[in-house]
Structure 1
Amino acid sequence: MLRSTPAQAGGGRPRASLVRRARESIAKGSKSFAIASLLFDRDTRERAHLLYAWCRRCDDIADGQDHGGDLKLDEASAKDRVEAIRILTHRALDGQPTADIAFDALGLVAAETNLTREMCDDVIEGFMLDAEGWRPRTEGDLMRYCYHVAGAVGVMMARVMGVPADETETMDRACDLGLAFQLNNIARDIWEDDAAGRCYIPEEWLVEMDIPPGQHMKPQYREQLVTLARRMTDMAAKHDAAARIGAMRLRFRQRWAILAAANIYGEIGREVAARRGAAWDSRVYTTLPVKLGLVGAALKESISGTYPPLKMPKWTRGELMMMARMAGPIPDAAMEPLPDEDIRRLEE
């Protein structure tokens, strides 16, 4: 008789091994977040690294890169790769081994911080949008995508930092920070996305600027593109300002780390806006001395406090979650008969 594998957080791997591999992942994949994460207390830092390892691995699999892992999905279609992400994620959340370090890392941090399947599925839906060749038609479409790939991760990070699930205001602000990060990233990566056959600029924005589909990187449209990129970075700045309200509710070291990350990613958006038409001639990044200066500025703000924005962002977590649910897959219909159907059968 076959016995089922007992559920174990992390798929039964030693915690120290998962943490070490997760730390290696963030050191390789994101120097900005790696620096900010050093400001966390040890428990929060390790859990943030575990979550990052899953996010990074999902991104690699979705793009068909699969760096340094056991899975071999190179020949699979984009949709099949995302479905593999979903299956492995659900398996990890159930405490089952996945044969992949990053997914086992998710299983461990989920067990320690009560991350839910719904939270993970929200992130995975962002990968599915890319796999389907999706393009945003409206600003709302753009923001729904940003919610999936970054806002939802911000919510998960809040749970990693110990924010209770019912502290909705703080969760909303964590989502704002993720939205700010993604908007700045999109503005920075317009050229790279175009080279990969992707465009996250809403079609309605392009029409407004009289830019034909697929032509936004042509030199004759550079000034219009500068205007649209500035629109994105301005939106990012509003979400960033709102996020800082939530950061002030965190413990000191968490607050410092989050504000440092906000400063570093915000600098990307400010640099894109400052370079104007030259923003995509070379990749925008922040140097180590600049990063250290932004960390210092975050320390000062952590102590002195932050000013609330004069106006909150247009797009809210609740609204974006509703849009995500409405656009998501329709759940399977229940196969059990309704109570009154049972009564009618008895009467017959």
Structure 2
Amino acid sequence: MNRANLVLHARSSIERGSKSFARASKLFSKQTRERAWLLYYWCRACDDLADGQDHGHGMSTVHKPVKTIAAMRMMTTRAHGGEQTGNPPFDAFGVVAQECHIPKYFADDMIDGFALDARGWRPGTEEDLFQYCYHVAGAVGCMMAVVMGVSARDQEVLDRACDLGLAFQLANIARDVAEDAQAGRCYLPKNWLAQAGIDPDHILDSAHRDALVGLVNRLCDLAGEYEASARVGATSLPFRSRWAVLAAAGIYGDIARAISQSNGASLERRIYTSKGKKLGWIVKAFGQALVNSARRDRQGLWTRARITSLA
């Protein structure tokens, strides 16, 4: 496919896979918007391959997960090097990687997160949880920052971009606790579960409900902290990119806030936010982008400098 066709497919992918991101992406300039779609297309495809899903829905067993991850790495490496793979999402990544000079280690870091899932890994501590969130979402935030024109050497802004990815993933985990448990997965740290008296293999047992709701709310509180930090990084972006990032932060942040306010309802049904609230954040983010005055230090927050092997 040529670039124009890849962009069309990428647009279709983001509209199917994430209405929140699709809506926010329309605030970017045309060039940045297309590049964001191309990057999303590849990220979504990798996630679906790892989880046996279709645009984030219908998780199923991946029968040869190690081979799946190996193929993902191989096609990503080829695409990043400028080769045509014949696989549209990977060729889309190749286009945006070449145009924006995305460092390959960010792509490798993301795939490392899917490799953890492939072997049934679970976090033992909060530190493990943050490292996992970095791999599957924080690294994506860093790549998106590069797409928006941030230098790969600007570590301070990349840390803030990573924070937004962490916030999104913490909200995802909070939203999907029940769905993940039914699929045999759990991203709540083992030491959190032990402290709450929850059997890690039966977290949905009704006897644990109140304690589990407390842990879900703990995730939502953390998501809020990292969302607030990410907003500071947005001040370094061009206006339209800043507007889009602040809108996405608000729209996705509302998911965590809705979960926290649901009193455990997120364990029975998937939490969504309304179209009206999404549109409201687009308006609100416009004003925030104009003022551009967010200030907050990162003291006490997890940082990419603490990454170690989770093997």
C-alpha separation between the residues in 2 aligned to 1:152 and 1:108?
Answer: 18
The equivalent residue for 2:2 is 14
C-alpha separation between the residues in 2 aligned to 1:179 and 1:275?
Answer: 22
Q: Residues 260 and 139 (structure 1 numbering): CA distance in 2 closer, same or farther, change over 3 Å?
A: same
Q: CA deviation at 1:75?
A: 7.3
The equivalent residue for 2:31 is 43
C-alpha separation between the residues in 2 aligned to 1:277 and 1:128?
Answer: 30
2:66 equivalent to 1:79: yes
* Gaps in structure 1 of 5+ consecutive residues: 1-12, 68-73, 329-348
C-alpha separation between the residues in 2 aligned to 1:96 and 1:311?
Answer: 39
Q: CA deviation at 1:306?
A: 4.0
Q: Is 31-40 or 89-98 further displaced after alignment?
A: 89-98
The equivalent residue for 1:221 is 208
Q: Residues 283 and 83 (structure 1 numbering): CA distance in 2 closer, same or farther, change over 3 Å?
A: same
* Gaps in structure 2 of 5+ consecutive residues: 56-60
Letter in 1 for 2:156: E
Among 153, 173, 177, which residue is 1:166 paired with? 153
Q: CA deviation at 1:122?
A: 0.2
Q: CA deviation at 1:311?
A: 6.2
The equivalent residue for 1:120 is 107
Are the equivalent residues in 2 in contact too, given 1:242–1:313 (CA < 8 A)?
Answer: no
C-alpha separation between the residues in 2 aligned to 1:250 and 1:177?
Answer: 14
C-alpha separation between the residues in 1 aligned to 2:137 and 2:52?
Answer: 20
C-alpha separation between the residues in 2 aligned to 1:292 and 1:251?
Answer: 21
Q: CA deviation at 1:173?
A: 0.2
Q: Residues 304 and 149 (structure 1 numbering): CA distance in 2 closer, same or farther, change over 3 Å?
A: same
Are the equivalent residues in 2 in contact too, given 1:239–1:313 (CA < 8 A)?
Answer: no
State the SS of the aligned residue for 2:290. helix
Moved over 4 A (4+): none
**TM-score normalised by L of structure 1:** 0.85
Letter in 1 for 2:108: D
State the SS of the aligned residue for 1:133. coil
C-alpha separation between the residues in 2 aligned to 1:304 and 1:54?
Answer: 34
Alignment of 1:58-207 (within 5 A): 58-65=46-53, 76-207=63-194
2:265 equivalent to 1:278: yes
C-alpha separation between the residues in 1 aligned to 2:301 and 2:68?
Answer: 34
Letter in 1 for 2:99: E
C-alpha separation between the residues in 2 aligned to 1:260 and 1:306?
Answer: 15
C-alpha separation between the residues in 2 aligned to 1:177 and 1:255?
Answer: 13
Matched residue count: 306
**TM-score normalised by L of structure 2:** 0.95
C-alpha separation between the residues in 1 aligned to 2:262 and 2:54?
Answer: 34
Identity %: 51
C-alpha separation between the residues in 2 aligned to 1:224 and 1:169?
Answer: 36
Letter in 1 for 2:305: G
Among 224, 227, 238, which residue is 1:240 paired with? 227
